[in-house]
Chain A
């Protein structure tokens, strides 16, 4: 009985799937789906290396400081970094006094309540505060940015397919030349207030190119601040904001693997030892 009903059910499911496959194939051949222009023009992130890549990866602290400077002077005008606190900057190589100074001089105030009147007010951030948001709320953010809310950058390198190379490619991948834009198919030309960028999934985004001039940021360590260099540095900084424990993770990983390798080798020898008498009876092949 089980086999009889099973047979019928099997015939139904398998049969209907085969019929569906054939019907799908017929409609695919008779009316091929239109090729998506977005897919055709969408580019994969450029190949770019960071010192934190790979199992031995470590942060380049000079680069993180430069990247932080780019965030501070360019990105922070619109993008929040709400999961990172000023105190976390100590990991970039700043000493306590420097961290306190960075917090105290931050351009945006931390919301607070006046202890005497209870009124909502603002104050200079302290080291224990998270980075204050540039806009009071999402509505204000959208209103100031052509209806697009600038995403928080704390996790951005983990929250986008392609990670840091994607961020770098997006920052350096804008197509602004009107002659080049005119050559693009009509349906992917940027609308008003939008900017063309083949690394962005929809090809056009509301963010104007943020890095436009070589030397836009003046680096303290003497590195030449080309657009390419600034994009790379800020991408490296955003790897750190998304994964601040990356270095300790890599170090712990090697310690764990060393321990496991020794334990497994010992375990294998114990196994060989225990099984020696039983394996001796095995027929010779």
Chain B
């Protein structure tokens, strides 16, 4: 840990001393998320969503392992095995609804977590690696969620698999062989379902591994904070435990209350009715839509309606959709402003809030049918989305005059200079 005043792990019980000599696991936990991790004292509630996303992932793994005990990954019986879970497995309905809605709550947490990083400049030096690993986690989570949605083998599962693997068919020349290779056939069938199940079970553990790297990388510079000002002394920090465990603990309660309302009272509100119809390759649903958390990207995909000379619109849409996320990998080098927090960047702040509006529009249009005026709305919002990252941020970084920064975190909280604060 980088701060000299971090508390040291001193086991008092003989067993803990013995353990510390043989396998210092308690020490690792103490330094990672215990009293040994000094954390800025001024973190606001946006900083709670990282741990909430982590807990949501653990809940997904636990419910998922139980579901896998009863689920059958075979195109002939997958749909019925899910209904078997819903009807005949003890509390199976609870496990399945918790897993289906848990994916949504994981994405709610991760989207707020990403938005927090964008506004408070958590992607900037010295935290670039934390951000890059976070983007990797997000990409893995998208793949996992998509493959999980295929498993119930309903109409949206089947046609979602067809559309998403079809994106690769847009690649010139090798596109179609790639799609067939991904599916293991000419259309989604048992081969596709089996490999998706296999990967859906594997990837969450890969995500877990990358999360460990994400937290490891976090512990080198320590957490960012709402002022974006570096930690300068012991008065600027509090030990992670008990301060932030207590804060994370009670907000976890709020998160679980919202989650339980969905699981027990509105379990299908975030799903699509068509996925209760068994997969039928001969009948295409009127509107094929992915899960809500993919809607902004789906809107960007469908926003490209015109060929650009020899480049077909579909290929442009696919490149733009992946590009919209891959651009995050370059963000630390696109935004060169030395000021991290949006609080002290009056112009970036306005641009950021317009980005939130544009993203909300993309969310809305991605779930709507591909007709006017939704296409036009997603074209304008999509244009702003790319402009924000690739044009506005780099230019603003040069032009903007930031507001004066506080001298220290302590001064911003107590109003007294760091030296005078107790």
Contact = CB atoms under 8 A, between A and B. Distances in A.
Interface of A: 2-3, 6-7, 9-11, 13-21, 23-25, 28, 33, 55, 83, 88, 151, 154-155, 158-161, 201, 242, 244-245, 249-250, 252-254, 256-257, 260-261, 263-264, 267-268, 270-271, 273-275, 278, 281-283
Shortest Cβ-Cβ A-B pairs, 3 listed:
A10-B390, A253-B264, A264-B253
Contacts of A267: 246, 249-250, 252-253
A250 B256 CA distance: 16
Nearest to A156: B276
Contacts of A2: 330, 333-334
A271 B249 contact: yes
Contact of B246 (A17, A254, A270): A270
B371 interface: yes
Contacts of A3: 333-334, 336, 394
B303 to A, nearest CB: 6
B376 A7 contact: no
Interface residues of B, number: 66
Contact of A17 (B93, B252, B379): B379
B142 interface: no
Contacts of B243: 274-275, 278
Contacts of A21: 376, 379-380, 383
Nearest to B411: A283
Interface string B387-422: 101110010000000000000000001111000011
Interface of B: 41, 80, 83, 86-87, 93-94, 97, 238, 242-243, 246-247, 249-250, 252-254, 256-257, 260-261, 263-265, 267-268, 273-274, 276-277, 286, 303-306, 308, 316, 320, 323, 327, 330, 333-334, 336, 371-372, 375-376, 379-380, 382-384, 386-387, 389-391, 394, 413-416, 421-422
Nearest to A154: B83
Contacts of A270: 246, 249-250
Contacts of B305: 20, 24
Contacts of A159: 273-274, 276-277
Secondary structure type dominating chain A contacts:
helix
Nearest to B391: A10
Contacts of A16: 304, 306, 308, 316
A206 B173 CA distance: 44
Contacts of A283: 413-416
Nearest to A159: B276
A90 to B, nearest CB: 13
Contacts of B257: 257, 260-261, 264
Nearest to A4: B394
A14 B379 CA distance: 8
B382 A274 contact: no
